[in-house]
Structure formats: structure tokens, C-alpha cells
Chains A and B, each alone.
Chain A
Amino acid sequence: MSKHGNRTILVCCGPGCLSNHSMDVYEELKARISQAKIKAEVKTEVKATGCHGLCEKGPLVRIEPDDIFYTGVKVSDVPEIVEKTLLNHQVVEKLLYHEPSVGRKVISPKQTRFYKKQMKLALRNVGEIDPSSIEDYIHRGGYKALGRVLSELSPDEVITEIEKSGLRGRGGAGFPTGWKWRQCARMQYYPKYVICNGDEGDPGAFMDRCIMEGDPHSVIEGMVIGAYAVGSHEGFIYIRDEYFLAIRNMSHAIEQARDKGFLGKNILGSNFDFDVQIVRGGGAFVCGESTALMASIEGKVGEPRAKYIRSVERGLWGKPTVLNNVETWANVPVIMDRGAEWFSSIGTENSKGTKVFSLVGKVQNTGLIEVPMGMTLREIIFDIGGGIAGGRKFKAVQTGGPSGGCIPESLIDLPVDFDSLNNAGSMMGSGGMIVMDDRTCMVDVARFYLTFLSEESCGKCVPCREGIRRMLEILNEICEGRGQPDDLDTLAELGEMLKEASLCGLGKSAPNPVLTTLRYFKDEYLAHVNEKTCPAGVCKNLTVYYIDESQCKGCGLCQKNCPSHAVEGQRGQPFAIDETKCIKCGSCMDVCRFGAVRIRGRDKSWK
């Protein structure tokens, strides 16, 4: 271990770790270090960084250059870290990460399977730098690409490079970025605008947020390059209002970039002017759609419009506009820096580069990951994700958020890229990846997304406004135990209608969660409709919980965790559930270590 040079302590302050009180750990480390007067030649710096990934094990603390990685750090662990690691160069054994694949604790993050299989391009700096420091960003090669672009390349050459890289939009549909830019560059009227879409409406994802919080300059640099390529002098970054940390870090970064001459007039002496401002979103899913987002920036209700004229021709205030997703922008400097050839060597034939996912749900390691396109779902879920939590059985994985679909176990070896996900009836979306186990009801999942979409439909077009409602009503009936045999056909028919007739992508893709679950999990729908049972034990009206006396060890954990005192009996004896008091929350089933809590259908078929 090095005894000289600067020590840096990186404390993850991403959303996952923050909710585990990592800010307190950060403050405590700072206080203790100044108290302990750590040796003069060792300058120790504590940095609050963006999300490292591996949110499951947070709060995470890394010590550089020693390459030590601590997980689950509490404020009470801080004195020991200072005493042992910082002053005496020893590791605190109990805070090390236990790597299941080798069955022992490891010191460096590089030794974990979670990190080993990843490849970080868009997340290259997230978790490595202090997002409030432009020096950190520059130190890691930031703004180098911009300098080269402005001094050596013509706008046309920039676009050609992006086209050659094969970069496709990371916000959903995978539209070729270079092509989009070229269309806009061709337009001969001004002003032109560039926009960064940081609305991130997917209700189960937080990738864009972590990039904006953890590495705001990568987005700004990408936007300046894009603006130069298409001939725009004004840009907007649209961020959800709830993402206050992202807004704060981004605003701060914009100011720093202006101070250093990366934004504003005559950028780096090139005669090129460009500036950006932040617009706070109002919390409506449909505002992530490009035309709705532009309406929202104009101060109007965020409703989409029909796209017979594309926004590269007439976008914001009727002017030519390029809109890209946060992650797309963050990829641009990497491509300009390392070249299109290098970038296009990563990934599959039609999907180049990497993709960031927020891997969540019933998986061991939840958090942000970034992998090369074409990695299989199995590698993502079982190698990086560490398999299903609690040793349960894998059932499905949902990608693409409310516009995507559920992919069953039989397709687990599917390579993840834009086209293969589309073929499976789902889509890449912005990168939500939700793992489901046998305790997840697929009908309920479909209902969940439709509930979300029915609230979020802006109501402008009838197919979407009414169609989603009708589909939701049917799903509600099925989950309540009043499903009819012909409901499934009606659902499929309505779904097809929505796909055909809706105005924008929200309605066009809204049936996907239903259609994919119908396609891959029809049996589960049939169980709800015909047998009136919910095999996963989620739909309350269709589920009765009971305790299997032969399995119950009488430990009493279920009784302790039952919020409505429905578990009866004495410790040491098998317990029983009083059906009349049971609210069917499933707490007992989740805590039972012996699998003694079972479910059966409402009136027949014991399982």
C-alpha cells in the first residue's frame, strides 16, 4: 500500500446511498479526518460522488489509490476506518464486500463480478469524480474532445464521425443520432436549438438522473459538440423537477463551464457561440416525448403533436431542433475522443457501444450497470446481478418501462440490443431492467403499467385516452376475480387498436406490457379467469394465505411481522392464520425461512 501521495476517499452520494444516510458518513469522515490530523504529507480528500452502482450494498466508500472498497458503511464505522485504514494502512475486514463467486471477501471493486463484466463509457466518471469540480472532469480527459472538434474538424466531419460510430439514441427508440443531426444541419433557417431530454419518466429507472448528478459536464460537452455540428447557439436541458440534486449539480456545472470558456461567446477562441439553460419539468410522463417536451419548454401544456413534420425541421418554437437523451449526449465526447472506429467495435452489428441499465427488482445486486450491447440477459441478471434474491425462482425480466414488455425465462439467453428486444415484443427503452421472481404476478404487472399510463395519458387522442382505460378496467376485473373467458381476446384486440391509432408513442406502446404478458404468461391469465387463483399470491381477492403445519417450526417470525395480528398460536407450536383478519400483505410469506406459509385460491384448488 502506498504511504505517500494524495489519498482520496470517495463516498457515494447517489440516490440509493443517500437514502441509506451516506451524507452523514461523508460529514463524519470529514470531521474525523480533520480531528485526527492525518500526516501532513498525505493529503486526504473526501469527495461526495455520484452513483457507483451496487446500490444494494450502500453506503459505499472507496479509498484511492489504495483501491479499497467498503460496503454498508455506517457512521459508527467511521472511527475504525480512520484509525485502521487511514492511519495504519490496514483494512477493516468486516466492511469488505463478500464476493459470492469466489466465496470470500475482496478488497478491490475490480475483483467483484458485479464490476468486472461491466464497461463504463457513459458512466465513465460517475462515482469517480466530484461532480461539483470541473477540474476533476478535465483531469480525466474532459473537454479534450471539444477542443479538438472546435480547432480541427468541420461541422460536417463531426456528423460523419457520429454517423460512422453507429450511435443510436438511448432515450427509447434507438434512432440513429448522426442521421438526426444531419437532417437538422441541412435546414437553412435559424435559430436552431439543441435539447437534452432529462425527463426520465420510466417509473422504475434512474440512469439519466445519476449521469446528470454524477457527471454533468459530460452532458454539457456532448451538447456543445452537437450544437457546433448542427449550427445551433442555444440549448436547453429539461430535467424533472423532483431531481433537485441533478438540477443543482447541472446548474453548478453550467456556471463553471461558462467561467472556463466552454460555454458562452467565442468558445475556446473558435468564434463559435453556444449557451444552455435548464428547464425544470413538471412531472408528467408524456413530457418525455419529444414534441410534448418542446411544448412544455414553451410554457404550454405538455401535449404531443402529430409528427408529419419532424422536429429536426420544425421543433421548439417552430425552429429546427435536435433532441437527444442524456445518455446519448454523454456518449458523444467519448466517440469524438476515441474515434468512431473504436466505438463501433463495441456491441453488435446494429447496436454499437454500451447501454446503461438500472437493474432492480428481485435481484441480489441492484443498482446502475453499464454493459456492452449484446450481452445476454443471463449474464446481466446472474453474473452481474448475482441471481435472484432470497434464492427464489427467476420468472421474467421487464425492459423498456411502461412502453416495454416482459421477457420470460425461455428467452434468458437473448442478447440485449435494440433489435432483439423489439423482436421479443419488448424494447430497449431508456434502460429500466426489472427482474421478477415467482412472487410476482404478471397480470398485476400489466395492470400496474396500465394504471400508470391511464393516469399519464394526456387525453388528447381518443384511442389512447379511452383505450387504456378500457384495458385497465378489464385487467382490474381479472385481478378482482371477475374475469370472463373472452376478456383475453378483447384485451388483445384493444391492444392492436391502440398500437395502430394512437397519436404518440405513449399510446402506441402502451399495450406492450399487456400483449407481452399475454403472449408469454397466458397460463397465469387463465388461472385468474378460470380457476380464480393468483399463482403468485399477489391479487388479494384471489389469494388465501395459510400455514402448512408440517413445515412450520413455530419460530413466530410471521406473528411478529404481521401488521394486523392475524397469526395465531404459541411459539414452539405450528401457527395458523385467521383468514378474517388477514390483509394479504404477504409479510409472513416473505419472512418465513421454512417455506411454511402457502397460498391457495379463493374457493377451490389447494396448491
Chain B
Amino acid sequence: MELKDFSYARTILEQYPPERRFLLAILQDIQKHYNYIPRPILEMLRDYLDVPLSKLYSVATFYKALSLKPKGRYVIKVCDGTACHLKSSQSIIDEIKKVLKIVPGSTTGDGKFSLETVNCLGSCAVSPVMVINDRFYGRVTPSRVREILEEYGRLENEQTWK
């Protein structure tokens, strides 16, 4: 993992002047590119912006959009906004938890799926809603969950499907 190529991070940094106000924007770009905020890049950022690592850490852990741990290849976002909640999004989350054996905020052991809950996606009309990477699924029912996940192929580790 640590041998990963972080050279692109420099390109991201240099798109912004070295000012504190661009910190969040830089972190968001890094999150988008690498799917998380790797520690070596935080160190790079410390030198670039001249902001202590502890401050960078506090920003990186404060905002929901940023994550210090790598996410899965398929990020499942179940909407638990108000409208979806009223239409039992909790049952959808429970069903995914059962099928994939992960809780919201974590990733399957094989790095394939991450589960997250999010707030209103603006699609309340077809609630409950879930999104896998950029694909939308509306009016999801617990009985459709397994079927949808199977579109992404079986898990390498078959027994987790039990």
C-alpha cells in the first residue's frame, strides 16, 4: 500500500496557491482522486501550506466528505434523508448489513463494497433511494437488495453471501 504512487498529488497541490483557504478544496480533490486521504499526502500538504499536521488532521476528520481510510471499489450510498427514512430506508440498510456483513462507514474485507448513509439526494419522489457509484436505484425494497448487489457480481468470498 505504502508504495503507491502519490506523485499526482503534487499536480493537485500546485493547481492552488499555497494559502490556507484552499485546504478544503485540495483535500476534496485528493479524496476524489485517491478515494481517501493518504498520510504521505497530508505530510506533503503540511510542507506546502505550512500548516501543522494536527490542524490538517482536524480538518480531514471534521468533514464527512473526507476519509482517512481507503473506500471500496463500489461505494453504496443509502439515502437516510427524512423522506427516505419515512419510507423505511432503515430496512434497506439492515438488509445490506445482513448480506454484506458490514456496517455503515466500513468496507468489505475484499475491498469491493463500502456502505455509507447519506442525506437527501433530491430524489425523494422515488424514495427510498440508493446509489452505487453513480447509478441510482429508486423505490428500493428489502427484497430487491440482494438482486441489485448481484449486478455487481458475486463477492469473491462466497460465504459472505449466506
Contact = CB atoms under 8 A, between A and B. Distances in A.
Nearest to A58: B125
Interface stretch (A92-100, A226-234, A297-305, A338-346): A297-305
Given A19-B129, A282-B66, A284-B62, A432 B82 contact: yes
Nearest to B79: A203
Contact of A448 (B64, B85, B143): B85
Given A203-B81, A299-B22, A434-B82, A19 B138 contact: yes
Nearest to B137: A19
A543 interface: no
Contact of A362 (B86, B120, B122, B145): B86
A563 B118 CA distance: 23
A204 B79 CA distance: 10
Contact of A204 (B58, B94, B124): B124
B91 A585 contact: yes
Interface in A429-462: 432, 434, 436, 440, 445, 448, 452, 458
A18 B65 CA distance: 22
A209 interface: yes
B122 A301 contact: no
A302 B25 CA distance: 14
Interface in B107-146: 118-127, 129, 136, 138, 141-143, 145-146
Contacts of A302: 62-63
Interface in B52-78: 58-59, 62-66
Contacts of A18: 123, 136
Contacts of A204: 81-83, 119-120, 124
Interface residues of B, number: 44
B125 A360 contact: yes
Contacts of A299: 19-24, 59
Interface in A337-362: 358, 360-362
Contacts of B141: 561, 563, 587
A398 B85 CA distance: 13
A362 B85 CA distance: 11
A389 to B, nearest CB: 10
A593 to B, nearest CB: 16
B63 A284 contact: yes
A374 interface: no
A366 B62 contact: no
A562 B91 CA distance: 12
Interface string B7-22: 0000000000001111
B142 A583 contact: yes
A361 B20 CA distance: 41
A360 B143 contact: no
Interface string A448-482: 10001000001000000000000000000000000
Nearest to B124: A360
A392 to B, nearest CB: 12
Contacts of B91: 583, 585-587
B18 to A, nearest CB: 11
B28 interface: yes
Interface in A93-133: none
B94 A583 contact: yes
A562 B143 contact: yes
A242 B82 contact: no
Interface in A295-323: 296-302
B19 to A, nearest CB: 8
A242 B20 CA distance: 22
Contacts of A587: 91, 141-143
Given A561-B143, A563-B142, A587-B143, A360 B20 contact: no
Nearest to B94: A583
Nearest to B22: A299
Contact of B24 (A209, A296, A562): A296
Contact of B82 (A58, A210, A361): A361
Contacts of B20: 298-300
Nearest to B29: A280
Contacts of A296: 24
Given A209-B122, A583-B91, A282 B143 contact: no
Contacts of A55: 123-126
A296 B59 CA distance: 9
Contacts of A282: 24, 27-28, 62-66
Contacts of B25: 279-280
A545 interface: no
A16 B86 contact: no
Contacts of B94: 583, 585
B35 to A, nearest CB: 15
A38 B129 CA distance: 38
Contact of B95 (A58, A206, A561, A563): A563
A19 B126 contact: yes
B106 interface: no
Contacts of B122: 14-16, 206, 209-210
Interface string A200-229: 011111100110000000000000000000
B124 A358 contact: yes
A366 B66 contact: no
A283 B122 CA distance: 15
A367 interface: yes
A205 B118 CA distance: 13
Nearest to B99: A563
B106 to A, nearest CB: 16
Nearest to B118: A242
Contacts of B142: 563-564, 583, 585, 587
Contacts of B121: 15, 19
A279 B142 CA distance: 38
B16 to A, nearest CB: 10
Interface of B: 19-25, 27-28, 58-59, 62-66, 80-83, 85-86, 88, 91, 94-95, 118-127, 129, 136, 138, 141-143, 145-146
14 contacts: A19-B126, A19-B129, A55-B126, A203-B119, A206-B120, A206-B122, A242-B118, A279-B24, A282-B65, A360-B124, A361-B83, A436-B86, A452-B119, A562-B143
Interface of A: 14-16, 18-21, 55-56, 58, 201-206, 209-210, 241-242, 279-280, 282-284, 296-302, 358, 360-362, 366-367, 398, 401, 432, 434, 436, 440, 445, 448, 452, 458, 560-564, 583, 585-587
The 7 lowest CB-CB distance pairs between A and B, nearest first, are: A204-B82, A282-B63, A15-B122, A55-B125, A206-B122, A203-B119, A585-B91
